Amino acid sequence: MAVAVEQRREQEARPAARRRVAAKGNFAVAMAVRDVDIDVAAIYPITPQVQIAEKITEYVANEELDAEVIHVESEHSAMSAVVAAAATGARVFTATASQGLEFMHEMLYIASGLRQPVVMALTTRALSAPINIWNDYSDAFGMRDTGWIMIFSENVQEAYDNVVQAYRIAEHPDVLLPVVVTLDGYILSHTVEPLEPLGREEALRFAPKRRYGYRPTLNPDMPMSFGVVGVPAWYHEIKYQQVRAMRESRRVIEETGREFGRRYGRSYGFIEEYMMDDAEVALVSLGATASLVKAAVNRLRKEGVKAGMVKIRVYRPFPAEELVKALENVEAVGTLNRAISYGGVVEDPLFMEVATALALRGIVKPMASFIHGMGGRDIFVRDIVAMYKKLMEHAKAGTSAKRTYFYGVKGHNPDDDQKM
């Protein structure tokens, strides 16, 4: 008992940023939201993000967070309410997954079109039908063209850090775009991992609130109309401004990730390279799946295979330059995704962009796309090892896979995909 008390005292004496706790991804997100002192949250339950909503209301109930919680009657209203609250000048938050994201889809475009710094957490989950509550990235990839900055988290710590950074990015006057931070449903949302939260003081120092009026808001003393009719004479220009904002957000995202590292020792870039220095074959992946790929790389390295991995952390804006730089010297490039673009050139939407980024820079090399893990299907390290081996075959033959390989499908040989 005495030892426990002593340990606790010691822990409390340490600086806030160094205090370690054990937390699920959902709680890490809620903690981050509390630490940045949001003003308005709109919450609606959906699996697997519901614990975020629960925890936020608990913080409000216990006066650990001074915020208005709107118990909306749907996700569509959740996004509507936070966009309106952001337009009024508040720091806002909501969280969703899967069908909830699809239900608010219309409002995703309105959030970015109105340039509101909304921050949302997405516990990535499969889409119906058939209904499935487990992880894949179908929901996240469905919002890729909605004008949101998209940051994928690989672990619980990243989920926390990304949410704090999201506010600094979204509210930056040169950006003013909504940001979504993803965490893999269950795999991160419900998994307890060590976490070093910054604490309120430090989080607010990193993502400080700007004075009221630094950006246009619904202010009776300075009345403005928001969401007016974009007539053909102006709509095109307004959309181009959005394109520019997204392009220019790169600078702020980059600076934010670097500054985070300078202060807290955890640097963040657009991508993360793993064993890429001498890699001959590389897989590109994202989210918690990247951790599995790293494990596969470790196993292959023991076998003497020069495998490497590139994790895409920021998917929007897409880090083409960084990615190409990382991949230009490998012999073959593959992508591993948990989302499908039915009827696409290949079925992996991530691959299309990786291939485009390389092709536009005149880089042509054997490539292959892999899809595994839909709707919570477990991806084993041995599956990823097999993908690397398939990739090496392509490297050797000097050919690309014309179709996406589907791994992990019962009774299906991925090689058959090339015949269809």
Partner 1 sequence: MEALKKPVRTIWDIPRPEQFAPGHNMCQGCAAALIMRMLMKVVGKDAIVVMGTGCVEVTTTPFPYTSWKNPWLHLAFENTAAGASGVEAALKALQRKYGVFKDRYIKVVAIAGDGGTFDIGLQSLSGMMERGHDVMYVVYDNEAYMNTGIQRSGATPLGAWTTTTPVGKRMRGEPRPKKDIIGIALAHRIPYIATANPAYPTDMMEKFRKAYETRGPSLVHVYSPCTPGWRIRNEHTIHVSRLAVQTGMWVQLEIENGKPRVTVKVPKRKPVREYLRIQGRFRHLTEEEIQKIQRMVDEYVEEINRWVGEQAIGPVVEE
- Which residues contact partner 1 (rule: CB under 8 A)? 39-40, 42, 66-68, 70-74, 76-78, 80-90, 92, 106-107, 110, 114, 212, 217-220, 222-231, 234, 238
| CB-based contacts of 86, cutoff 8 Å, min separation 6 | 92, 111, 116, 117, 118
Closest CB 36 distance from partner 1, rounded Å = 13
What is the side-by-side order of every strand in the sheet holding 281-286? 271-274, 307-312, 281-286, 332-337, 367-371, 405-406
By beta-carbon proximity to partner 1, the closer residue of 234 and 240 is 234
Q: How far is CA 44 from CA 36, 103, 318, in A?
A: 21, 12, 30
Closest CB 92 distance from partner 1, rounded Å = 8
Closest CB 231 distance from partner 1, rounded Å = 5
By beta-carbon proximity to partner 1, the closer residue of 194 and 230 is 230
Whole-angstrom distance between the N-terminal and C-terminal Cα of the chain? 66
By beta-carbon proximity to partner 1, the closer residue of 114 and 345 is 114
Closest CB 243 distance from partner 1, rounded Å = 18
By beta-carbon proximity to partner 1, the closer residue of 209 and 365 is 209
The DSSP code sequence of 6-55 is: HHHHHHHHS-GGG--EEEEHHHHHHHHHHHTT-SEEE----TTTHHHHHH
Residue type for position 148: W
Is the alpha carbon torsion for 229, 231, 237, 243 positive or negative?
positive
Closest CB 169 distance from partner 1, rounded Å = 21
Closest CB 26 distance from partner 1, rounded Å = 23
Closest CB 52 distance from partner 1, rounded Å = 18
By beta-carbon proximity to partner 1, the closer residue of 207 and 293 is 207
Question: Mapped to the 3 state alphabet, what secondary structure does 310-356 carry?
Answer: EEECEEECCCHHHHHHHHCCCCEEEEEECCCCCCCCCCCHHHHHHHH
By beta-carbon proximity to partner 1, the closer residue of 94 and 138 is 94
By beta-carbon proximity to partner 1, the closer residue of 237 and 277 is 237
